[in-house]
Structure 1
Amino acid sequence: MKGVSLASLGAIALVATIPFFSQIPGVPHVWQSQAIAQNRQPQGAVQLRLDVEKQVVAQDQQGKQVKTWVALKGQATVTPGDVLRYTLNAENKSDRPIKNLNLDQPIPRGMRYILKSATVPDNGKITYSIDGGRTFVDNPTVKVTLPNGAVELRPAPATAYTNIRLLIPSLAAKSTLKATYQTQVR
């Protein structure tokens, strides 16, 4: 069983921290990770907020699956296989547009990015890192050695993704943008 606790911090580089704790009865295993909303270009006019929701799957009266999202606040429990949706809100509080806004989102340890789940406004672009945020590309690839010794580039698996970068060319004055992405608890 994994517990989640959320603490909102009203800072630009760090908006929310989500430690995940795992403990197996009788065997103390504790690991923790962080989800951070961060802007690499310090611009005091941008306020970031990261919200997290857990997907809940239920059955309606006809037996059909119904998926809803429930906000995680305070102490919450997640288990392997649970899907979490992160919503990043960036608000430009200034009277001028902000140009070339880069918003980096690390994928927390113990989580797997759900491929193609990231959304960003029409004028934005999404890139990904598989090396801890050192480099970002549109479609990460990994080298795979085939049985005959040849090396081939293949799309990186979801488990290799470590960061998402949202590139926003311009955020209008007094406006807010919303971007989302999903992860799954390993």
Structure 2
Amino acid sequence: MKDFVLATVGAIALLATVPVLNQTKFGLETAIAQNTQTKGQVQLRLEVEKRVVQQVQGKQTSTWQPLQGKALVEPGNILRYTVTADNNSNGNVKNLIINQPIPLGTVYVLNSATSNVNNEAKITYSIDGGRSYVESPSVKVALANGKVETKPAPVTMYTHIRWKFGSSIPAKGSVKGIYQVKVR
């Protein structure tokens, strides 16, 4: 068995992006890892929650409401995506990599990507459609005086997030990649 598993979750490919009175419908579904060498070994699940802000006794509170099926979201809503990779095998899975596209119609919320294994996951980002990944994407900007500077890429350019889990995922264990986006 190879020591490397690459899983791409396409589950958030929006099934329907239909404007309805300044709202958008998102279709949500479950994703399965598609890798012939590990078929059935790792299963990916995608969950989406919407942040709901309420006033409770004069204090503003924030909770997460699960979205299921076709859910209505509005511009400005914050969504939290959780990709769970379940190791269904009887052995360890090493060097799992999960690539997750930023959904169309949303913008990544800077510094929101985390994992449930703390420092054991390396998180990188793509601004070129998933062809390359770096920890801090940057772009070259031409200044008025003709000089070119390298600046941090704006979050509107982020297209994908990657979690690389360097340690083994034990048999029947799981890991999670979590990130937030803002609906445009």
User: Would you call these one fold, judging by a TM-score over 0.5?
Assistant: yes
- C-alpha contact 1:140 1:155 (8 A) present in aligned 2: yes
Residue 83 of structure 1 and its aligned partner are, at CA, apart by: 0.3
CA distance in 2, matches of 1:109, 1:149: 34
The runs of at least 4 aligned residues of structure 1 exceeding 6 Å deviation read 30-36
CA distance in 1, matches of 2:138, 2:172: 38
Query: How many corresponding residue pairs?
Result: 170
Residue 38 of structure 1 and its aligned partner are, at CA, apart by: 7.2
What is the one-letter code of the residue matched to 1:177? Answer: V
TM-score by length of 2: 0.83
Identity %: 48
1:1-186 pair list within 5 angstroms = 16-17=11-12, 18-23=14-19, 42=36, 43-44=38-39, 45-61=41-57, 63-120=58-115, 121-122=117-118, 123-169=120-166, 170-186=168-184
SS at match of 1:56: strand
Residue 39 of structure 1 and its aligned partner are, at CA, apart by: 5.2
Residue 90 of structure 1 and its aligned partner are, at CA, apart by: 0.7
Residue 37 of structure 1 and its aligned partner are, at CA, apart by: 5.6
Residue 22 of structure 1 and its aligned partner are, at CA, apart by: 3.4
Residue 173 of structure 1 and its aligned partner are, at CA, apart by: 1.4
What is the one-letter code of the residue matched to 1:67? Answer: S
CA distance in 1, matches of 2:30, 2:124: 17
Where structure 2 has 5 or more consecutive residues not aligned to the other structure, the ranges are 1-6
Distance 1:36 1:133, change over 3 A: farther
Distance 1:32 1:47, change over 3 A: closer
Distance 1:76 1:164, change over 3 A: same
- C-alpha contact 1:143 1:151 (8 A) present in aligned 2: yes
What is the one-letter code of the residue matched to 2:172? Answer: K
**Per-residue deviation, residues 127-147 of structure 1 (Å, max 9, x unmatched):** 000000000001000111111
Residue 109 of structure 1 and its aligned partner are, at CA, apart by: 1.1
What is the one-letter code of the residue matched to 1:127? Answer: T
SS at match of 2:17: strand
- C-alpha contact 2:51 2:77 (8 A) present in aligned 1: yes
SS at match of 2:82: strand
CA distance in 2, matches of 1:132, 1:67: 32
